[in-house]
Amino acid sequence: QVQLVQSGAEVKKPGASVKVSCKASNYTFTSYGISWVRQAPGQGLEWMGWISAYNGHTNYAQKIQGRVTMTTDTSTRTAYMELRSLRSDDTAVYYCARGAWGGRSWRNDYWGQGTPVIVSS
Amino acid sequence: SDELIQPPSVSVSPGQTASITCSGDKLDHKYTCWYQQKPGQSPVLVIYEDTERPSGIPERFSGSKSGNTATLSISGTQAMDEADYFCQAWDSSAGVFGTGTKVTVL
């Protein structure tokens, strides 16, 4: 079955960077996209952006544009999300999710287990 | 505005129907997904393209849309359906989530 396995929890100081990985298996990696979504403690889901694993095209949420970079490595079937200049309000669980085109719209049909990122001095 | 507004909470008795709404500007021109999230777990897709149900999702979950409001309905609600539910709409490869609704099965 489709699996997305994310890297482990991170603790970072304000101003630092974090890079979270998401390794995909059991599907054709380049036929789908990867979305990144975060959830602050006790809060809702926040869409961060999306990358096509086919051609590397990206689309980032305006709120974090300039601080985020999403990439993929097709040789290892792994997606990465790097967030820079971390602030305390970046503390959240970060999820990757497979982006599938259903013929009329996108959907995130499989999700990773989540990576907690804590930003604290 | 890209905001998708959901009621913060919905309560339902076991066996009854729970309805969760998701309202937003221009939603009539977009397709909506719905996700279920239980505490400590990753979200699960339960509806996509307004009305489609992924394989493995029980038939009691259904979606509909009228104008700028999408609705997730859970018929014959069971205790296991108690969770947070989020809508999502896509616009030019950007996906916006709704504010989320906590469903409580009393």
B101 in A contact zone (CB under 8 Å): no
pLDDT per position as a tens digit, B3-16: 899 999 999 999 99
From CA B51, how far away is CA B40, in angstroms rounded? 27
**pLDDT value at residue B40:** 96
Residue in B closest to A35 by C-alpha: B95
From CA A62, how far away is CA A10, in angstroms rounded? 24
Instruction: With cut-offs at 50, 70 and 90, classify the pLDDT of residue A61.
Output: very high
Q: B86–A95: do the CB atoms touch at under 8 Å? A: no
Residue A45 has which token pair?
Answer: 């889901």
Residues in A closer than 8 angstroms to B31, CB to CB, are 104-105
**pLDDT value at residue B26:** 86
From CA A34, how far away is CA A96, in angstroms rounded? 7
Q: B86–A45: do the CB atoms touch at under 8 Å? A: yes
**pLDDT value at residue B2:** 75
From CA B88, how far away is CA A15, in angstroms rounded? 31
From CA B81, how far away is CA B38, in angstroms rounded? 9
Give yes or no for a contact between B96 and B1, defined as CB atoms under 8 angstroms apart.
Answer: no
For chain B, what percent of residues have pLDDT higher than 90?
88
Q: Kindly state the DSSP code that residue B52 receives in the 8-state scheme.
A: B
Q: B31–A111: do the CB atoms touch at under 8 Å? A: no
Which of B42, B52, B92 faces A113 most closely, judged by CB atoms?
B42
Which of B43, B48, B93 faces A50 most closely, judged by CB atoms?
B93
Give yes or no for a contact between B103 and B8, defined as CB atoms under 8 angstroms apart.
Answer: no
Q: Decide the pairing of beta strands A115-119 and A10-12.
A: parallel
From CA B23, how far away is CA B26, in angstroms rounded? 9
Residue in B closest to A33 by C-alpha: B93
Give yes or no for a contact between B64 and B51, defined as CB atoms under 8 angstroms apart.
Answer: yes
Q: Which of B44, B93, B99, B102 to mutate to test the interface with A (most CBs of A within 10 A)?
A: B93
Q: What is the mean pLDDT of chain B?
A: 95
**pLDDT value at residue B91:** 78
Q: Kindly state the DSSP code that residue A29 receives in the 8-state scheme.
A: G
Give yes or no for a contact between B67 and B74, defined as CB atoms under 8 angstroms apart.
Answer: no
The Cβ of residue A107 has, within 10 Å, a number of other Cβ atoms equal to 26
Q: A45–B30: do the CB atoms touch at under 8 Å? A: no
pLDDT per position as a tens digit, B18-47: 999 999 988 999 999 999 999 999 999 999
**pLDDT value at residue B94:** 83
Q: How far apart are the first and last CA of chain A?
A: 40
pLDDT per position as a tens digit, A4-22: 999 999 999 999 999 999 9
**pLDDT value at residue A91:** 98
Q: Quick check: B55 pLDDT over 90?
A: yes
For tokens 């290892």, name the residue: A76
**Of residues B95, B26, B68, B61, the one with CA closest to residue A108:** B95
**pLDDT value at residue B90:** 86
